[in-house]
Amino acid sequence: MDKRLLIIDGLNLIRRLYAALESEQDLARRVERTQSVSIDALIKLIKQIVPSHIVVVFDASGQTWRHKIFPEYKLGRVPMDDALLESLPDFATVFRYNKIHCLRLAGWEADDLIATLAVKAANQGVKSYIVSTDKGFTQLLDNENILQYDYFAKLGYDKIWVPGKYGVQATQLTDYWALVGDTTNRIPGVKGIGPKTAMSIMKTHSTIESIYQNVTSFSDRIQHLLSDNYEQCLLSRQLVSLKVDVEIGVRLSQLAYQPV
């Protein structure tokens, strides 16, 4: 069987399953039910993708390198319910009991760990499936060995899907988001530049550096919008770019899936 690495964005999956059980008023019971449906979800994914390797990746608590260079990062995001937050170690325990590996690394967001695992595996010819609704992973889809799957919408995404969604290639997404911003994470774009304007700009110049080196080739309106925003664009691009070289200290062989 071909090697397939199934990578699950742990909190992305758990929080959405937990939110779907909002009618449950008993918080302890709600957490227990979320654990149960999380296992059901993982079993469905395993049956669907038939992975040779699997890992659920969690965020570390506290601030990361993004907060250090941009304190407003994710500021204002709705906090996780205390009951769910306190139970996360129990989720990992339940997953491991079901032979599903879990990963968490101090100081790192799950996104960077997932990106690193997917890229390293993909470069070794291993098909990597990232299960998450987070649009940030679409920047990785230029690699044909990396696919993204939305468990809730039951949709898969690849490099062919990206231009139809964003109007740019997967490799251009971080520059695109540097222009339009990322409201989910409070990362600023250039005020007045939305998706359509960003696409028109990037038809001729696909990187922030090239755009500003040729800024006079654009209309007066766009020149005015871009004015004095170069450093902000560079910072925003850095913030939305996923790390693919984190020293995780885990070999692919350690993530082998061996069902009971």
| Stretch 71-92: mean pLDDT | 91
Give pLDDT, residue 76.
80
Mean pLDDT for 23-51 is 96
Q: How confident is the model at residue 98 (pLDDT cuts 50, 70, 90)?
A: very high
- Given a cut of 90, whether residue 254 has pLDDT beyond it is yes
Confidence class for position 1, pLDDT limits 50, 70, 90: low
Q: Report the percent of the chain where pLDDT is more than 90.
A: 93
According to CATH, the superfamily of the domain at 167-240 is 5' to 3' exonuclease, C-terminal subdomain (1.10.150.20)
205 and 212 in contact (C-beta within 8 Å)? Answer: no
pLDDT in tens, 121-168: 999 999 999 999 999 999 999 999 999 999 999 999 999 999 999 999
CATH no. for 4-162+242-255: 3.40.50.1010
pLDDT tens digits, residue range 190-214?
999 999 999 999 999 999 999 999 9
| All structural domains of the chain with their residue ranges | 4-162+242-255, 167-240
**Of 19-23, 75-79, 163-167, where does mean pLDDT reach its minimum?**
75-79
Q: Across all residues in the chain, what is the average pLDDT?
A: 95
How high is the pLDDT of residue 61?
A: 86
The pLDDT value recorded for residue 236 is 97
Residue 142 CA to residue 73 CA, distance in Å, equals: 26
Confidence of residue 75 (pLDDT cuts 50, 70, 90): confident
